């Protein structure tokens, strides 16, 4: 993808900049890469980001509410982004398919699973069984109820919104439904929502201005609602770097808690987001374990461990050595191992630091 950058805006040093300067490899004059179009929007007088007042009250609320982590969380992990309503039935189908293949080869069939959350949870073994909790996502109109049905289980929290690929779902009814869901116990965030300009046919960017316009409108609306409710925001961005940064700068206070999930965009976008939004975290999935994802691994190397969240985005993108299989929240274990090796720290340090970030963003 072609990106247009320009080093245009000098940003004053803040505590956040100072903390992360070594990682950002910046010299003493801190200049932030700015996407071309956003720069011109700024000079043409684009609306300013929300006011300092809401920033203060939000960060204050977060600091007050957060209890320290209990000892029991040591060595355990949270999958901060998964789609259980898609994971469980697919795992069940996979186990039956595995059994059928084994039988055809005259081998003893492996354990078969019914489409039951409890059965799957009880089947986790070894490091996968260190799973402590999940943030389960519902992000299209038709699946919201189904996704919310998992909240009855211990350790399952929810986040709900409308995914950019389902932007056409957005109407008054879905807005009302989401607002009601935000009042439910265990609903910890708004999303995922965002922009997805990936064109499957051309494997490039979607050019259709109508489709882009709809996604932008629905993303902006959901950011405004999340900010007004002071709900953490889960962002999906794919092939839409300039517009993502532009809209987030326009609609989010700089201290709003944000999880940019399954981060696969450029290091430039990663660093721009980390600098601009002090409570933002980047989520990494099984993609970090892929041999053909050196750019994502580079982003991990350039991102302070304190700004990383562990996730699977299951059932998609199972990590090595399970590529091509159905991903599930226990696979966070392998994501954590890979991040530890990329950053040259222990697995225990990755788990403890990311667990803290999970509490900071989601309050769990």
Residues that bind Zn ion (CB under 5 A): 313
Nearest residue to Zn ion, scored by beta-carbon proximity: 313
Question: Closest separation between CB of residue 211 and Zn ion, Å?
Answer: 20
What is the biggest distance separating any 2 CA atoms in the chain, rounded to whole angstroms?
71
Closest distance of CB 233 from Zn ion, Å: 13
**SS3 sequence, 190-249?**
EEEEEEECEECCCCEECCCHHHHHHHHHHHHHHHHHHHHHCCCEEEEEECCHHHHHHHHH
Of 33 and 283, CB closest to Zn ion: 283
Q: Which is nearer to Zn ion, 235 or 354 (CB)?
A: 235
Q: Residue 223 is encoded by which pair of tokens? A: 């950011």
| Cα end-to-end span (Å), the chain | 37
Contact at 8 Å (CB) between 309 and 259? yes
Helices (H), 124-185: 144-148, 172-181
For the range 102-108, what are the long-range contacts, defined as Cβ-Cβ under 8 Å and sequence gap of 24 or more? none
Alpha helices, H only, the chain: 15-24, 36-43, 52-65, 84-104, 117-123, 144-148, 172-181, 209-229, 241-251, 267-276, 294-302, 332-343, 347-362
Q: Which is nearer to Zn ion, 24 or 84 (CB)?
A: 84
- Give the SS3 label for residue 309: strand
Shortest distance, position 311 Cβ to Zn ion, whole Å: 8
CB of 239 to Zn ion, least distance (A): 16
Q: How far is the CB of 117 from Zn ion (least distance, A)?
A: 18
User: Angle CA(145)–CA(150)–CA(154) in degrees, nearest 5?
Assistant: 150
Comparing CB distances to Zn ion, the nearer of 196 and 313 is: 313
Query: Which residue's CB is nearer to Zn ion, number 249 or number 313?
Result: 313
Angstrom CA distances, 49 to 13, 313, 326, stand at: 19, 30, 40
The sign of the CA dihedral 200, 204, 207, 211 is positive
* Nearer to Zn ion (CB atom), residue 275 or residue 313: 313
Q: Give the nearest distance from C-beta 209 to Zn ion in angstroms.
A: 26
Cβ proximity to Zn ion, 85 vs 313, nearer residue? 313
- Rounded least distance, CB 344 to Zn ion, Å: 29
Looking at beta carbons only, is 243 or 313 nearer to Zn ion? 313
- Closest separation between CB of residue 81 and Zn ion, Å? 6
Q: Which is nearer to Zn ion, 222 or 254 (CB)?
A: 222
CB of 139 to Zn ion, least distance (A): 7
Closest CB 333 distance from Zn ion, rounded Å: 19
Distance CA 53, CA 56 (A): 5
Cβ proximity to Zn ion: between 237 and 271 the closer is 237
The crossing angle, in degrees rounded to 10, of helices 332-343 and 347-362 is 110
Distances (CA, A) of 298 to 66, 204, 265: 32, 22, 11
Cα-trace Rg, the chain: 20
């Amino acid at each position: 993808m072609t990106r247009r950058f320009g080093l245009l805006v000098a940003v004053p040093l803040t505590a956040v900049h100072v903390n992360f300067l070594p990682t950002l490899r910046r010299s003493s004059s801190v200049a932030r890469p700015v996407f071309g179009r956003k720069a011109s929007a700024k000079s043409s007088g684009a609306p300013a980001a929300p006011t300092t007042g809401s920033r203060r009250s939000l960060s204050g609320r977060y600091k007050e509410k957060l209890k320290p982590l209990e000892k029991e969380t040591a060595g355990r992990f949270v999958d901060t982004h998964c789609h259980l309503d898609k994971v469980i039935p697919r795992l069940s189908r996979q186990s039956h398919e595995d059994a059928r293949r084994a039988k055809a080869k005259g081998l003893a069939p492996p354990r078969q699973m019914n489409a039951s959350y409890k059965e799957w949870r009880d089947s986790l073994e070894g490091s996968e069984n260190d799973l402590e909790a999940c943030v389960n996502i519902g992000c299209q109109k038709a699946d919201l109820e189904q996704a919310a049905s998992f909240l009855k289980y211990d350790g399952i929290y929810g986040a709900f919104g409308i995914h950019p690929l389902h932007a056409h779902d957005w109407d008054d009814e879905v807005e009302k439904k989401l607002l009601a869901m935000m009042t439910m116990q265990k609903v910890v965030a708004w999303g995922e929502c965002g922009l997805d300009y990936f064109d499957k046919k051309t494997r490039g960017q979607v050019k259709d201005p109508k489709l882009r316009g709809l996604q932008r409108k629905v993303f902006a609306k959901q950011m405004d609602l999340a900010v007004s409710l002071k709900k953490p925001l889960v962002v999906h961005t794919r092939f839409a770097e300039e517009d993502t940064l532009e809209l987030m700068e326009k609609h989010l206070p700089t201290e709003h808690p944000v999880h940019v999930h399954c981060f696969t965009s450029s290091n430039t976008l990663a660093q721009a987001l980390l600098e601009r939004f002090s409570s933002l975290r980047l989520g990494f999935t099984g993609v970090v374990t892929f041999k053909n994802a050196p750019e994502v691994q580079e982003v991990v190397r350039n991102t302070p461990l304190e700004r990383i969240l562990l996730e699977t985005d299951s059932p998609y993108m199972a990590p090595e050595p399970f590529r091509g299989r159905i991903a599930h929240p226990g696979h966070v274990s392998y994501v954590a191992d890979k991040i530890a090796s990329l950053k040259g720290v222990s697995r225990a340090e990755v788990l403890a630091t990311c667990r803290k970030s999970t509490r900071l963003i989601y309050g769990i």
